[in-house]
Structure 1
Amino acid sequence: MSIGSATRSEFTKYFTTSAWWVLALITAASLVFLAGGFAAAIGLAQSGALDDVPDAALLGAAAPSLVYGLAVNIGYIFPILLGVLLVAGEFRHQTLVPTFLATPKRTTVLFAKIVTGAVVGAGLGIIAVIATVGSAAAVFAATGQDPALTSNDNLAMMGRMILAFVLWTWVGLGLGSIVRNQVAAIVIALVFTQLVEPLLRTAAAFVPAIEPVARYLPSAASDTLTGSNFYVMLGAAGETQQWWVGAVILAVYAVVLTAIGAITTWRRDVD
């Protein structure tokens, strides 16, 4: 089977299950709630409707980009789960057996998944951007703040957020290719991204020796790529790098994980 045929097969498998729309719905609903809530707090604080608010809420023109960036700053767990499901989900349901019978060359199947991950990851990124920016912009406008939707910087950031979703999907795909057990892969992703990384990045504000390591963590690279970073605002991160540096670092994580999976787990028999 050719790469094109294998890729079409991957799209068919993905969109014939309920996983795609369930994940898209959860992503959109979560980000609408989070972005709308943050925008409301900041908008009300800046309009003077709230008293005794922290200085972090008074961000002026930087507020829209900071809230819009939540699509990736917080929402990056969703493309990771997408990538994991693209691979580990097939190990769980044994759908890789007919796939490998139809396409014995496993590198072709893996490459088809990478292509599929890029497309569906970008699609999920578009949904995330629309949900985050749409809800936050509406709240900013309602509280008398400028949503800055026509800002070139914000428009460029939105494009980079979609790229970040593609790269995070590949990271999840790489993790799923190493850890066959879907539940284990999801737990590893959640623990590392929601517990280990935040602790390390917060600790970097108090332990200077940790900062050089913390800035090269996957989530830090993602924030660098996006150009919006709550850790910088809170003083828990050092000087930011160029956005493309973040893209390269995140891509390296994806390549390394996928390469490890390709030469280990991916070669084993499916039982």
Structure 2
Amino acid sequence: MNLVKAELFKIRSTSTWWILGLITLGLWALTLLINWAGSSINAGSDPAEQGLTADQAEQVRVANEAVNVASNLYTSGQFFGVLMVMLLGAIIVTNEFFHQTATTTFLVTPRRESVVIAKLIASTLLGLGFWLVTTLLNLIFVPFILNALDVGPQFGEPAIWRAMGLNGLAYALWAILGVGAGVLIRSQIGATIALSTIYVIGYFGATTLFFLLTPRIGEWFGKLQVLVPPLASQLMISGTELPGNPPRWVGAVVLIGYAVAAGGLGTWLMKRRDIA
């Protein structure tokens, strides 16, 4: 517990956490507005008239159901939020090398796995903090948006609360992924640029690829998109099961697998690498 407190203090003693926090709030507001606009446009459109295949039109129709519209709005901010949390997790590790405190840290605590576990726990707590703030903001503002869309706040739907809970799990898992990535990429600037690029390009690239190729290859190919981490976390927060997509729990299992692999690999590498 003392190690976790020490890791949290290291973060609080720098400006990194609140800078990323402010960026997250700005991107959350932008995402909420985009989701609102998208829901308003989709509410007045007929999927059958959009030139989509029958399967794609059915996916759009289900996504436009009130419970799914509400789930999407109540989890607004996840796309950029988990990116910020991942970067924060990486910075928790790379800060040690950037400020050349790694040697001191491991002299004070020779068992390196204890240090890495403390960083994982601290990163997870920070990730859950980011999730809690954005979720509270969504709970405040989204009911007004849903009333404007004439669907009501949907608080009686268990799927809404399940989506928000799984959203919290996604934030925690991406924080762990960030710590693992920070061990692999020791450079603070390098980790920030590489992770941001891979995350954003990977998401939009994979989305475009699966959208174009699934009608030609087959529905089975479209289900493989759950193997892409950003798409797996998006699947987790859907209100109901979407046609042509794997169940939500598959997305959770995939993301947990990535987090366990990243955390385990990070611990193993930290124990064996020379610290300079």
| Same fold by TM-score greater than 0.5 | yes
Change (3 A) 1:37 1:204: closer
The reply on whether 1:127 has 2:124 as its aligned counterpart is no
Deviation readout 1:84-142 (Å, 9 max, x if unpaired) = 11111222122323211210111110011111122111111111222344333333334
Q: TM-score under structure 2 normalisation?
A: 0.81
> Which letter does structure 1 place at the counterpart of 2:5?
R
More deviation, 82-91/108-117: 82-91
- Would the aligned equivalents of 2:27 and 2:77 in 1 still touch at CA under 8 Å? no
Q: Which residue of 1 aligns with 2:54?
A: none
Q: Which residue of 1 aligns with 2:174?
A: 168
Q: Which residue of 2 aligns with 1:28?
A: 25
Identity of aligned residues (%): 26
Q: How does 1:75-94 map to 2 (within 5 A)?
A: 75-94=81-100
Q: 1:254 aligns with which of 247, 251, 259?
A: 259
- CA distance in structure 1 between the aligned counterparts of 2:238 and 2:109, rounded to whole angstroms: 41
Please, what is the CA RMSD of the aligned residues?
2.8
The reply on whether 1:221 has 2:226 as its aligned counterpart is no
The reply on whether 1:141 has 2:147 as its aligned counterpart is yes
Deviation, structure 1 residue 70: 3.3
- Would the aligned equivalents of 1:83 and 1:173 in 2 still touch at CA under 8 Å? yes
Q: TM-score under structure 1 normalisation?
A: 0.82
Deviation, structure 1 residue 265: 5.1
> Which letter does structure 2 place at the counterpart of 1:39?
W
- CA distance in structure 2 between the aligned counterparts of 1:35 and 1:219, rounded to whole angstroms: 18
Deviation, structure 1 residue 67: 2.5
Q: 2:77 aligns with which of 42, 61, 71?
A: 71
Structure 1: 4+ residue segments shifted above 6 A: none
Change (3 A) 1:243 1:45: closer
Q: Which residue of 1 aligns with 2:269?
A: 264
How many equivalent pairs are there? Answer: 257
Unaligned runs of 5+ in 2: 51-56
- CA distance in structure 1 between the aligned counterparts of 2:275 and 2:245, rounded to whole angstroms: 44
Deviation readout 1:4-56 (Å, 9 max, x if unpaired) = 2211211211222222222222212211222134214534774x7xxxx9796
- CA distance in structure 2 between the aligned counterparts of 1:145 and 1:247, rounded to whole angstroms: 28
- CA distance in structure 2 between the aligned counterparts of 1:89 and 1:227, rounded to whole angstroms: 35
More deviation, 160-169/7-16: 7-16
Unaligned runs of 5+ in 1: none
- CA distance in structure 1 between the aligned counterparts of 2:117 and 2:106, rounded to whole angstroms: 13
> Which letter does structure 1 place at the counterpart of 2:166?
R
Q: SS state of the match for residue 215, structure 1?
A: helix
More deviation, 70-79/81-90: 70-79
- Would the aligned equivalents of 2:35 and 2:76 in 1 still touch at CA under 8 Å? no
Q: Which residue of 1 aligns with 2:53?
A: none
Deviation, structure 1 residue 225: 2.0
Deviation, structure 1 residue 81: 1.2
- CA distance in structure 2 between the aligned counterparts of 1:182 and 1:10, rounded to whole angstroms: 17
More deviation, 53-62/207-216: 53-62
Q: How does 1:23-62 map to 2 (within 5 A)?
A: 23-43=20-40, 46=43, 59-61=64-66, 62=68
Deviation, structure 1 residue 148: 1.7
